[in-house]
Copies of this chain bind each other. A is one copy, B any other.
């Protein structure tokens, strides 16, 4: 296949495949999306996809990663106004917006489904998505510890989960609405739990 060995043409195919994946995830229930469907939308052969990705799940990780990268690495850094509660309210309200956004939510749903089905992919998600995000949060928490707003002995992974897990759980369970008011309530409780 000489075409796939042409770097410019390869790059175009790769971008078309990732875009087709993002589009289809927004348009269809995840179970209805196949590698065949992605290939047809991207106007490439199935074998071109399998040349770069071992599964639909691996493709979803790259599609989300690219969307995040487009939204910019710097967006992952947390605001630092000196007031952790105010900053975390912004972060958790933005999380609510993402979990209720037609652009973001379907991709996140696809990622969660694939992660539950494929332990190797789950570990890739931890390395490529969870850890970089956690590092930014941990840096913000350390600055709050220096400011006397968080106990110096707090476990920062547990502290991160204290803010983020309730948002995630509420989204996934569907038992109660995800709103900005709810985000604020979670921040109040988490701050109380972490106070020196």
* Stretch in contact with the other chain, from A79-87, A140-148, A184-192: A184-192
Q: Write the A150-179 contact mask toward B (1 if CB under 8 angstroms, else 0).
A: 000001011001101110111011111000
| Interface-located stretch among A6-14, A70-78, A94-102, A107-115 | A107-115
Interface size class of A (residues with CB under 8 A): 35 or more
Q: Are B172 and A131 in contact (CB under 8 A)?
A: no
Copies of this chain assembled into the complex: 2
Q: Check if A30 is an interface residue, CB within 8 A of chain B.
A: yes
B168 A182 Cβ-Cβ under 8 A = no
Cβ-neighbour of A162 out of B157, B166, B195 (below 8 A) = B166
Question: What residues on B are CB-neighbors of A122 within 8 Å?
Answer: 173-174
